[in-house]
Amino acid sequence: MEARFNLYGNPITASFSKRMVMAGKVIDDSPLPKATYELVKIRASQINGCSYCVDMHTKDAAHAGESSVRINLVAAWRETNVFTEAERAALALTEEATRTADGGHVSDDTFAQVRKHYDDDQIAGLIAAIAMINAWNRLNAIAHTPAGDYVPGQWG
């Protein structure tokens, strides 16, 4: 499979992507738990059908020590017992925020669950993480970036 557009071969999209990477460092440096951040990236990417991002973030999660059971069950997290209550709140927020374009919304109940488990700085990191991965998903889905060849750490 070939990409329909090379995001890194064009100076505009390459420059934009570079700035997104820099903005992502704010999330990396936030107190949002790293495991939660990886779960959020996987779940949003699954919802958005971004195969490149699913490939990248499942491999990154495994490389960071996440279990294959948890990685494989992200799509069905509601029917599992392998995620903490805090992670479940983050995954619910990810789903609702990612699906706003489908007429959904972030419910008060979901946000109350997030508030119960995370402090303001963690919530800020979580909101930024959801926004960022949705932007990356759209870039890669539009460009039809092929999945399968990603190697953990290849982007720094």
pLDDT score of 30 more than 80: yes
State yes or no: pLDDT of 156 exceeds 80: no
Q: Copy the structure tokens of residue 63.
A: 């490389």
Could you give the angle at which helices 108-117 and 85-98 cross, rounded to 10 degrees?
140
**73-105 burial string, b = 16+ CB within 10 Å, else e?**
bbeebeeeeebeebbbbbbbbbbbbbeeeeeee
Report pLDDT digits (tens) over 44-78: 999 999 999 999 999 999 999 999 999 999 999 99
pLDDT value for 5: 96
Q: How much is the pLDDT for 154?
A: 83
Question: What six digits make up the tokens of 105?
Answer: 């919304």
Rounded to whole angstroms, the Cα distance separating 142 from 50 reads 9
pLDDT for 102: 83
Going by pLDDT thresholds of 50, 70 and 90, the confidence category of residue 1 is confident
pLDDT at 23 > cutoff 90:
yes
Per residue in 97-135, pLDDT (tens digit) is: 999 878 889 999 999 999 999 999 999 999 999 999 999
- Roughly how many angstroms between the first and final C-alpha of the chain, as a whole number? 25
The predicted structure's pLDDT at residue 32: 98
Q: 86-90 — which CB contacts under 8 Å span 24+ positions?
A: 86/33, 86/36, 86/117, 86/118, 87/35, 87/36, 87/39, 88/113, 89/113, 89/114, 89/116, 89/117, 89/118, 90/36, 90/39, 90/40, 90/114, 90/117, 90/118, 90/126
**What average pLDDT is seen over the chain?**
96
Question: Of the given ranges (15-24, 94-103, 138-147), which has the lowest mean pLDDT?
Answer: 94-103
Mean pLDDT of 11-40: 97
Q: Residue 98 in contact with residue 48, Cβ under 8 Å?
A: yes
Q: Is the pTM of this model over 0.85?
A: yes
- pLDDT recorded at residue 56: 96
Calculate mean pLDDT across residues 1-30.
95
Residue reference for tokens 């209550």: 85
Domains of the chain: residue spans and CATH? 18-143 (1.20.1290.10)
- The answer to whether 142 touches 49, Cβ cutoff 8 Å, is no
